[in-house]
Amino acid sequence: IDVSKRFSDMCILSPDNKIFAQEKIYHDETSINRANALLQKAERLFFRKPVIVMESTSHYHLILFQFFSEHGYVVIVVNP
């Protein structure tokens, strides 16, 4: 997940590294839930829970980190 101030860009890759889905995540409940629904769809299709990698961008990544961690995802935060 590429994190920025107003929104974040998410790209979900298939196990063979092809783009499965892309989503712009606004940092609100509706948008984050829509992103979660895409991740759940990927989990059902590929028979494994996605691992989330996001960049550490000021405090903007924290809402996504907390949400996805609380929903059982492994979340890895890296410095850009």
Which pair of structure tokens corresponds to residue 45? 């299709």
- What pLDDT, in 10s, does the model give residues 19-78? 999 999 999 999 999 999 999 999 999 999 999 999 998 898 999 999 999 999 999 999
pTM of the model: 0.90
Which pair of structure tokens corresponds to residue 33? 């839930």
Cα separation, 40 vs 28, whole angstroms: 18
